[in-house]
Structure 1
């Protein structure tokens, strides 16, 4: 367990030893602030019965962050180790492949969670300025943060797998972004088949509509089906990441 946490701390520290980590943080904070300003200006003169978290999680800047941040955070997880020649050293340490993969994933998730921390004070400021109890409540904030973390787990696990498949951080980021975008595009298929809700295809695509599921979280509605889906997808991608790392160990 001590070796596991050592790897986690090493992973987190690696993100902030170069300028790229601070650029990601600055870009995320900028997009969060810009998004909230746009929403406030758009609905400042109109009454709305939807919490601002739901509007926030349905906006374009939000999905830009959600699609771009995981590839940038995870691209270095294994690819940098291989390109710098430290992967072989890491694999000879008395740490299991599962521990290595989970440590990389945990470190990346903690960095990802830190990226979203500025959202909390920003939402608090919005509530103070609006003086509207409907626009924000604890359940919607908690649901939004939970949804962001759960969906982030899926995208981060995809990023870890992409990083394990290549020596190039750029290639890993592109692969991760394309896979995450493809997963998101399934939501559009869900809307395309919305008129066939009773059919098997309609029900299937409705269960993987990431946009609507996240907006449900952001409105304070917690459904167990997305919880199971996101957890299962995360475990699926991490399992294959382990298999890739395992195969590389013996090369």
Structure 2
């Protein structure tokens, strides 16, 4: 556990000490602000029956953040180690391979979670200046947030795999984006195939990111 904690702090420190980490946080905060503002303006004065987070989940901004930001978060996790020659050294240290993988995955997921903090801030601001209602039933909001976290865990895992397959961070990001985009597009296959799609529609339903 001590070795895992040390590796986790090392990975988190790499995010905090790099310009890329702050660029990602700034860009995501901007997209979250714009996307959430557009959702609020679109439903201003209407009675909502679903949480605002669920409405934001259905917008282009959410998927843009998930598909683009996540590969940028994970592209360096293993690829940088290979490019700098520290991968072999890391694997020969007295820590298990599982600890290395879990530490890098946890660091990526933690950074992904921090990335979504502005969304919570937006919710609190809207809640402060509007009357309470179904839109701010915090249990549905919490469940939607959990869904965002779990989807992030999937995409971070995909990013870790892509990063482990190459020495180039750019290639890792492109590969991760391609896999994530494929999963996203497969989500529409269920609707395009229809009830006559048979096993193909069933397979698309299992991997759908929209249900």
TM-score by length of 2: 0.94
Whether the 8 Å CA contact 1:155–1:180 is kept in 2: the answer is yes
Residue 170 of structure 1 is matched in structure 2 by 170
Residue 50 of structure 2 is matched in structure 1 by 50
Q: Which runs of 5+ in 2 are unaligned?
A: none
Which SS does the other structure have where 2:125 is aligned? helix
Whether the 8 Å CA contact 1:190–1:208 is kept in 2: the answer is no
Rounded to whole Å, the distance in 2 between the matches of 1:146 and 1:196 is 33
Rounded to whole Å, the distance in 2 between the matches of 1:161 and 1:50 is 35
Question: Where do 4+ consecutive residues of structure 1 move more than 6 Å?
Answer: none
Question: Which deviations, in whole Å up to 9, do the C-alpha atoms of 1:96-152 show, x marking residues without a partner?
Answer: 111111111111111111111221121111222231412221122111111111111
Matches within 5 A, 1:30-45: 30-45=30-45
How many aligned residue pairs are there? 211
Question: Which deviations, in whole Å up to 9, do the C-alpha atoms of 1:143-197 show, x marking residues without a partner?
Answer: 1111111111111111001111111101100000000010111111011134348
Which SS does the other structure have where 1:155 is aligned? helix
Question: Which deviations, in whole Å up to 9, do the C-alpha atoms of 1:191-233 show, x marking residues without a partner?
Answer: 1134348x44333322322122xxxxxxxxxxxxxxxxxxxxx
89-98 vs 126-135, which moves further: 126-135
Rounded to whole Å, the distance in 1 between the matches of 2:191 and 2:129 is 35
Correspondence 1:91 to 2:91: yes
Residue 204 of structure 2 is matched in structure 1 by 205
Whether the 8 Å CA contact 2:83–2:168 is kept in 1: the answer is yes
When the two chains are superposed, the root-mean-square deviation of aligned CA atoms in Å is 1.5
Correspondence 1:4 to 2:18: no
Residue 146 of structure 1 is matched in structure 2 by 146
Matches within 5 A, 1:119-134: 119-134=119-134
**1:87 positional shift:** 1.2
Rounded to whole Å, the distance in 2 between the matches of 1:194 and 1:127 is 40
**1:13 positional shift:** 0.6
Which SS does the other structure have where 2:166 is aligned? coil
Whether the 8 Å CA contact 2:183–2:208 is kept in 1: the answer is no
